[in-house]
Amino acid sequence: MLLILHRHFVPNLTIGAPVIESLRKHTKAYLDCHLMVTNPLDYVESFGRAGASGFTFHVEVSKDNWQELIQRIKAKGMRPGVALKPGTPIEEVYPLVEDENPVEMVLVMTVEPGFGGQKFMPEMMDKVRTLRKKYPSLDIEVDGGLGPSTIDMAAAAGANCIVAGSSVFGAPEPAKVISLLRKSVEEAPKNS
């Protein structure tokens, strides 16, 4: 899985559709693209054409056109997801999960979006627990400050998709960290 960030909603630019297109030529891996942009509709075409597998947008910027956005994401062969910042109430994503054409994943940010290396906010696990209880089969992703010291908390809360940046790329042995994170999620007690 790969996290992709873009500019407008946040001040820095990370990776765009040309990088996805280059990666797609060399892998069949799931390329999970999290776009922190003001108008995600403007990016659906280019990311779909580039070969993105998932397209996650922020609920905070998609209140007026999320139904059209989800429809276009699916039409381009991508899996739609919705993300929410720490200060956004969890109830804001319910309509997107419960719609007749729903998102397929909810991303709970455990840091303010836009910069790596921030400290994990354990209080965000209440959102994960709430989502897991309300939607038992939903994919719930957690992003922000995840690593060996925080993964068990996220997995026990019900997260089944994990995004880790600094803890993996800053580790002397990234493969060991990835293995530990994966094992924690796979072995987490269900319905905690």
In the predicted structure, residue 20 carries a pLDDT above the cut 50? yes
* pLDDT at 3 (0 to 100): 46
Tokens read off for 192: 């905690």
For the chain, which residues make up each domain, given as ranges?
17-187
Give me the CATH code for the 17-187 domain, please.
3.20.20.70
In the predicted structure, residue 122 carries a pLDDT above the cut 70? yes
Query: Quick one: what percent of the chain has pLDDT higher than 70?
Result: 89
Query: Quick one: what percent of the chain has pLDDT higher than 90?
Result: 68
* pLDDT at 165 (0 to 100): 84
* pLDDT at 190 (0 to 100): 66
Per-residue exposure over 54-73, b if at least 16 CB sit within 10 Å of its own CB, e if not = bbbbbbbbbeeebeebbebb
**Tens digits of per-residue pLDDT, 147-168?**
999 999 999 999 999 998 889 9
**Tens digits of per-residue pLDDT, 77-115?**
999 999 999 999 999 999 999 999 999 999 999 988 766
